[in-house]
Amino acid sequence: MSEELYYPPESVSSKAHIASMEQYREMYERSINSPDEFWAEQAERFCWFKKWDQVRSYNYDVTQGDIQIEWFKGGQCNITSNCLDRHLETRGDQTAILWEGNEPGENKSLTYRELHREVCKFANVLKSHGVKKGDRVSIYMPMVIELSVAMLACARIGANHSIVFGGFSATALADRIVDSSCTVLITTDGGFRGAKPVPIKANADEAMTLAEKQGVHVKTCVVVQRVGEKIPVVMQNGRDLWWHDEMSKADPVCEPEVMESEDPLFILYTSGSTGKPKGVMHTTAGYMVYTALTHRYVFDYHQGDIWWCTADIGWVTGHSYIVYGPLANGATTVMFEGIPTYPDAGRFWDVVDRLKVTQFYTAPTAIRALMSCGDDFPSKYDLSTLRVLGSVGEPINPEAWRWYHKNIGKGRCPIVDTWWQTETGGILITPLPGCTPTKPGSATLPFFGVKPVVIKTETGKVIEGNGVTGVLALAEPWPGQMRTIYGDHERFEETYFKLYPGYYFTGDGCRRDEDGYYWITGRVDDVINVSGHRIGTAEIESALVLHEAVAEAAVVGFPHEIKRAGHLCLRFSYGRCQRK
Ligand code: AMP
């Protein structure tokens, strides 16, 4: 190995679940050569109403028929029994969610027992408004604690949540409500952006009106009061209800719905290379097993750790690594409402210091933004509780990697650069902190059960060996993989399986170096990664041409110092003549 290499420190590897490369290799080989045995063993850690009959069955090749992926078929479980009920006896009084509000020190927490109670109550609220197994529920909220309660409540009764990032526009929300025909929406009066309160319910109102025009009638809208009088809201009689009123009369007992392994758990929309976002559908058991296992091994989670993933729950990272994975492992998970630079660029480090965070997972864009504010901010805080640092969302440039390693990890915390996607449900390519030697900028090696291949675009053939460049695809299914695009299985097959039959195509370019390490080189489709968030150029273009003055629009990405891969560059020509 010729490049700059960082080895895990003894302090981490000596206590790690996976403590050596021999152990990693042995487990990896087993996961690939005997997947049924490997995954059955992992699934045994969970509680099931009924065990599975078959670990996996799939058709991955479009030329052989419809794409179909099934894990733990015949099994029955509920993800909330695994995230909540089964912890009550052993750690009922342990903090499950540690919420840090927008203002420093504005904290709230829920123990496992309290979270269980809140979830059951809200599940009963949903039931009382007619929500049942299989129904879709839209959630449009900032990072309030009730967001976690609402999503778990949906999962409790088998309803599928469709969470829409709170920063999205009314039109984006309306499109998603319509696509998934949601008749229930959960939202807040407003939220905060730095010191400024911002409206949320007003956007939700507009979205509900837009959805109505497209034939989808939201009949119930539950509103959490987060901001209060600074954001007055209009409540529509018969449709809009206050969260606190509903919860005050809700029964705290709600038995978990019995879910088949392949029953849908949630839909999460993500941008594609056409204007219409894709409703990525994840199902129950495979997603549960995969998110919990990756959380445990990739971040070397141990009981008593204080885990913090800074993502917003509106993105898949928040679904998998703030809520489902950590809670399935019985962790204490931090949920942060604010932004990294409010009230100043020391905010993350202040939270790490006060809450004694042990693992910290964030995006390169945040690291670069904080790096540009100087070393003085982190140096004011005690970061000695940190053990593992993580990065996700886009390739991390070596300069930011080194800054993170030196100034935050003080040279003694391994950095796990985790590559994955909304579609993959959980992390696929990543170092393991106790064993993998890391190279700044590389996501390194595949996780258990993951079989990456590099395909040469010109020939469509898999390139064997190391020191090769092409596009990244995956040769076999893993439990956390998406199963379909909601309402459009054909588009699912077309997008991911048609181009290279027999493989799941990721849409990312990649290089496998001489040591077999993977380096993700970015998207190869019409998707731009801005601050770690995926945006389809076609989506922006179609929004621009809605304006009456715009006749044509083209969007391209150009590099930005902090936002990196794509800062949006908009080119459009004016001059659509008077639209009526
Ligand atoms: P999303 O589904 O919105 O999370 O976006 C997934 C895309 O983000 C991937 O296809 C990659 O292009 C990019 N990505 C995520 N994590 C990484 C990483 N660790 N290194 C490089 N690119 C990443």
DSSP 206-237: HHHHHHHHTT----EEEEE-SS-TTS--PPPT
Residue 392 has pLDDT above 70, yes or no: yes
Residue 141 has pLDDT above 50, yes or no: yes
Measured in whole angstroms, the distance separating CA 7 from the mean position of its chain's CA atoms is 28
The answer to whether 413 and 384 have CB atoms below 8 angstroms apart is no
Omega of the bond leading into 343 within 30 degrees of 0 (cis)? yes
How much is the pLDDT for 272?
73
The domain made up of 528-573 is a member of CATH 3.80.10.10: no
Residue showing tokens 């390194």:
444
Nearest CA to ligand 1 atom 19: 419
- 164, 281, 394, 418: residue to mutate for ligand 1 pocket, most atoms within 8 A of CB: 394
The answer to whether 201 and 187 have CB atoms below 8 angstroms apart is yes
Measured in whole angstroms, the distance separating CA 211 from the mean position of its chain's CA atoms is 26
Ligand 1 centroid from CA 273, angstroms:
15
Nearest CA to ligand 1 atom 22: 394
H runs (alpha helix) in 334-468 = 347-355, 364-371, 376-379, 398-403
Q: How far apart are CA 149 and CA 218, in angstroms?
A: 21
How much is the pLDDT for 570?
53
How much is the pLDDT for 342?
97
Mean pLDDT of the chain: 94
pLDDT, average across residues 58-66: 96
Residue showing tokens 């042995």:
26
Q: How far apart are CA 185 and CA 187, in angstroms?
A: 6
What atom in ligand 1 is closest to the CA of residue 422? 2
How much is the pLDDT for 1?
46
Q: How far apart are CA 496 and CA 504, in angstroms?
A: 5
Pocket of ligand 1 contains residue 422 by CB under 6 Å: yes
Pocket of ligand 1 contains residue 270 by CB under 6 Å: yes
Which residues are 398's β-sheet partners?
none
- pTM metric for this prediction: 0.94
Nearest CA to ligand 1 atom 13: 394
CB half-sphere exposure, 141, CA atoms < 13 A? 30
367: tokens are: 């690291």
Pocket of ligand 1 contains residue 508 by CB under 6 Å: yes
Nearest CA to ligand 1 atom 9: 421
Residue 566 pLDDT level (bands cut at 50, 70, 90) = low
How much is the pLDDT for 535?
72
Q: What is the pLDDT of residues 454-502, one digit of tens each?
A: 999 999 999 999 999 999 999 999 999 999 999 999 999 999 999 999 9
How much is the pLDDT for 567?
52
pLDDT, average across residues 175-200: 97
- 316, 362, 421, 485: residue to mutate for ligand 1 pocket, most atoms within 8 A of CB: 421
Nearest CA to ligand 1 atom 11: 394
The answer to whether 455 and 471 have CB atoms below 8 angstroms apart is yes
Pocket of ligand 1 contains residue 56 by CB under 6 Å: no
How much is the pLDDT for 542?
66
Q: Give how far Cα 308 sits from Cα of 352, 388, 419, Å.
A: 8, 11, 18
E strand or H helix that includes residue 539: helix 537-544
Q: How far apart are CA 489 and CA 484, in angstroms?
A: 6
Residue showing tokens 């009061």:
225
Sign of CA dihedral 297, 303, 304, 309: positive
417: tokens are: 């650069």
Q: Which of 517, 153, 148, 534 is nearest to 334 (CA)?
A: 148
- 322, 391, 419, 524: residue to mutate for ligand 1 pocket, most atoms within 8 A of CB: 419
Q: How far apart are CA 176 and CA 11, in angstroms?
A: 47
Ligand 1 centroid from CA 424, angstroms:
10
Residue 528 pLDDT level (bands cut at 50, 70, 90) = confident
How much is the pLDDT for 573?
47
Residue 578 has pLDDT above 70, yes or no: no
Q: How far apart are CA 527 and CA 541, in angstroms?
A: 12
Q: What angle do CA 28, 532, 108 make, to 5 degrees?
A: 90
E strand or H helix that includes residue 391: strand 388-392
Q: How far apart are CA 500 and CA 104, in angstroms?
A: 50
Pocket of ligand 1 contains residue 277 by CB under 6 Å: no
How much is the pLDDT for 547?
76
The answer to whether 1 and 516 have CB atoms below 8 angstroms apart is no
Nearest CA to ligand 1 atom 21: 395
Residue 221 has pLDDT above 70, yes or no: yes
**Residue % of the chain over a pLDDT of 90:** 88
Q: How far apart are CA 413 and CA 78, in angstroms?
A: 35
Residue 439 has pLDDT above 70, yes or no: yes
How much is the pLDDT for 551?
61
Which residues are 505's β-sheet partners?
473
Ligand 1 centroid from CA 143, angstroms:
22
Residue 576 pLDDT level (bands cut at 50, 70, 90) = very low
How much is the pLDDT for 556?
72
pLDDT, average across residues 349-358: 98
**Residue % of the chain over a pLDDT of 70:** 93
End-to-end CA, the chain = 65
The answer to whether 386 and 376 have CB atoms below 8 angstroms apart is no
The answer to whether 481 and 488 have CB atoms below 8 angstroms apart is no
pLDDT, average across residues 508-532: 88
Which residues are 282's β-sheet partners?
266
Residue 264 has pLDDT above 80, yes or no: yes
Residue 553 pLDDT level (bands cut at 50, 70, 90) = low
CB half-sphere exposure, 448, CA atoms < 13 A? 30
pLDDT, average across residues 441-448: 98
Nearest CA to ligand 1 atom 15: 393
How much is the pLDDT for 297?
98
How much is the pLDDT for 385?
98
Residue 337 has pLDDT above 80, yes or no: yes
Residue 356 pLDDT level (bands cut at 50, 70, 90) = very high
Residue 8 CB-density burial (10 A; 0-12 exposed, 13-18 middle, 19+ buried): buried
Ligand 1 centroid from CA 419, angstroms:
6
How much is the pLDDT for 579?
33
Q: How far apart are CA 217 and CA 181, in angstroms?
A: 8
